[in-house]
Each structure stands twice: as C-alpha cells, then as structure tokens.
C-alpha cells in the first residue's frame, strides 16, 4: 500500500511538472521534447567552426561505422532528421548539420547562401568532422546541395539520398510555383503563429502531432528568421544554376549510386522531377510515396529509412 501511494505521489508530481512546463515554460518543454527525440535516436548535440560560421550538428552511431551526412531544407534544421536517425545510428555514424544560415549555426548578415556557397561550406564541415568519404543525403534545398556536392566532389560521395530535392527546373509547375506566379508570398514560411499550422499542412500531407505550446515555440523561431529565409530562398532560386541542367552537362553522367525519394502529394516541388533525375542519374533508384508530401523523413520515417538501408546494402563495401 505504501508503494502504491508513493507511485501515485510520484505520478502526480510528474504530471504537475509537465503541466507547469506546458503552460508556463513552453520553450523549456520544446527543448526537452527535442532532447528526448535525440536521445531516443542515439544522437547528441555538438558544434565546430568553419571560416566565418559556427556550426551546430547532431551526431551518433558507432564511431568507426561508415559516415552518413544529412542536409536539411530551407527554413528547417538538423532535427528534421532525428526520426530517421533512430534507424540509422545502429549501423552508421550519422551527422545531421544545421547548414550556415539555419538552426543554431551562424547567420552573418553579409554572407551569401547560393548553392555553390553552401557546397563549399559542406566541404569545410566534412573536413572539420574528419570524414573524407561518406554517404550524403538531403531534402529539398539540402538535396540540391547534396547533388551539387557530388558533382563537385565525386570522389568523396559514396552514395546520394535525395528526398524531394530542389533544383529540377524542368519539372512541371508545383502548387508553390503557381502561387508565387500569382504574386503570393513564398508559402513555406510562417508569418504569424496562426500561420504556422498552414505551413505544416502545406509541406506535409500527414504532419506529426506537436503539442500546442511546442508548436508555438517552433513557430516563433521560424518567424524570427523570416527575413533571412526569404532572402536565402530568392538568392538560391535566382542565382544558382538548375540541378538538372548541371547533371545533363556531365559527360560521362554522374556515376554516384543514388536513391531518389519523392512524395507524390508534394505541393512544394512537383513529383515529375523524380523521373527527370532518374533519367539523368543512370545509377539511381526511385521510391515514390503515395499520400506523402514534401518531407518524407518526417511523414514516413520508417518506410523511407528501411528503403534507404536496403539501398545501402546493395552497395559494394
């Protein structure tokens, strides 16, 4: 009876603490939730420096395992990869970085953020992490940077994992492109806390559950970076050569083994880009995901990571 009472008292205290965080310390609750996700994935937060930027990243997995470097999309950060990392860290050394200009990494006002600039910085990050040959993955903007990196440094990239990558200018117009052509703002960035829910449902068909106070904190963090995100979006879109044109110009074609993943309900980047990339990358496989949007690694982490691990298993050691 005493043990039962003690357990109930502990449970009541735990619920009281959680309620206090929920209503009075949402930032602490959001950071705690992220920390728990990282812990479950076997990741820890680390940081390093490259010229002009402090870089924050997550790392985990056996120190002597093959490295996998993961790049997020625009307006996102390293924690977009936490759920897939939970499957990868058992067999691979995973690095999920905040690219310069995003997350906790440096955001100097006078920096440039074109794809070519970020490719150079990814090379500096890889050097700082002491990884010379690695598997490279990216979503959206990060997918474009990853593919451009493989073009620039093919000897370093063991394989590519491209999830709804940007830069395929020959694809059909997406809903986002049509909205912008009509003069509307970029639909990827929240302009108010109430607008954040719309953004989540624009980029995902199946947004994961996020407690309201945590969602409010994430919304405020994105709003704080709105001006920079819009600047980076414009700079990348207008001053970076198309990825499909760069791949088409290569002779011979890029031989890097590649797994292309695309959500069939992507409203940001039209799924027709998947077939274009598959044609331009002769050593590639394609995974199309019905009822999935622009962020497969958040919407269907188990399905995409199982397919990725199966793909990695086909590669020579």
Higher-confidence position of 276 and 16? 276
Domain map of the chain by residue range?
43-175+242-313
Query: Is 161:308 a contact under the CB 8 Å cutoff?
Result: yes
Q: Which of these, 46, 135, 35, 38, lies nearest to 82 by C-alpha position?
A: 38
Q: Are 231 and 237 in contact (CB under 8 A)?
A: no
Output the pTM of the full model. 0.91
* Percent of all residues in the chain with a pLDDT value above 90, rounded to a whole number: 81
Tens-place pLDDT, residues 73-101? 999 999 999 999 999 999 999 999 999 99
CA–CA separation, 178 and 159 (whole Å): 33
**pLDDT-derived band at 18, boundaries 50, 70, 90:** very low
Active site residues: 72, 140
Mean pLDDT computed over 241-269: 97
Q: Distance between CA 189 and CA 17 in Å, rounded?
A: 33
Residue 24 has pLDDT above 80, yes or no: no
- Top-ranked range on mean pLDDT: pick from 68-82, 209-223, 232-246: 68-82
Give the CATH number of domain 43-175+242-313.
3.40.50.1820
Q: Residue 10 pLDDT more than 70? A: no
Q: State the SS3 of 133-157.
A: CEEEEEECHHHHHHHHHHHHCCCCE
pLDDT(228) > 60: yes
């Amino acid at each position: 009876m005493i043990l039962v009472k003690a357990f109930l008292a502990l449970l009541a205290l735990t619920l009281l603490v959680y309620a206090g965080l929920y209503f009075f310390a949402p930032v602490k609750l959001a950071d705690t939730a992220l920390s728990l996700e990282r812990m479950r994935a076997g990741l820890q937060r680390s940081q390093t420096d490259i010229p002009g930027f402090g870089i924050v990243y997550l790392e985990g997995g056996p120190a002597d395992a093959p490295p996998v470097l993961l790049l997020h999309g625009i307006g996102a950060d390293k924690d977009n990869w936490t759920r897939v990392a939970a499957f990868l860290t058992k067999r691979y050394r995973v690095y999920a970085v905040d690219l310069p200009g995003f997350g906790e990494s440096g955001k100097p006002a006078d920096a440039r953020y074109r794809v070519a600039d970020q490719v150079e910085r990814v090379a500096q990050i890889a050097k700082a992490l002491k990884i010379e040959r690695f598997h490279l993955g990216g979503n959206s903007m990060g997918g474009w940077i990853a593919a451009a990196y493989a073009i620039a440094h093919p000897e370093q990239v063991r394989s590519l994992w491209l999830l709804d990558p940007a830069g395929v200018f020959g694809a059909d117009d997406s809903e986002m492109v049509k909205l912008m052509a009509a003069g509307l703002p970029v639909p990827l960035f929240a302009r108010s806390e109430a607008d954040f829910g719309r953004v989540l449902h624009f980029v995902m068909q199946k947004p994961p559950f996020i407690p309201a106070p945590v969602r409010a904190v994430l919304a405020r963090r994105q709003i704080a970076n709105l001006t920079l995100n819009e600047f980076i979006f414009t700079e990348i879109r207008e001053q970076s050569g198309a990825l499909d044109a760069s791949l088409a110009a290569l002779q011979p074609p890029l031989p890097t083994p590649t797994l292309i993943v695309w959500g069939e309900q992507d409203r940001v980047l039209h799924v027709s880009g998947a077939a274009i990339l598959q044609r331009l990358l002769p050593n590639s496989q394609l995974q199309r995901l019905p009822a999935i949007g622009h962020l497969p690694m958040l919407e269907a982490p188990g399905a995409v990571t199982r397919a990725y691990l199966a793909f990695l298993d086909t590669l020579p050691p």
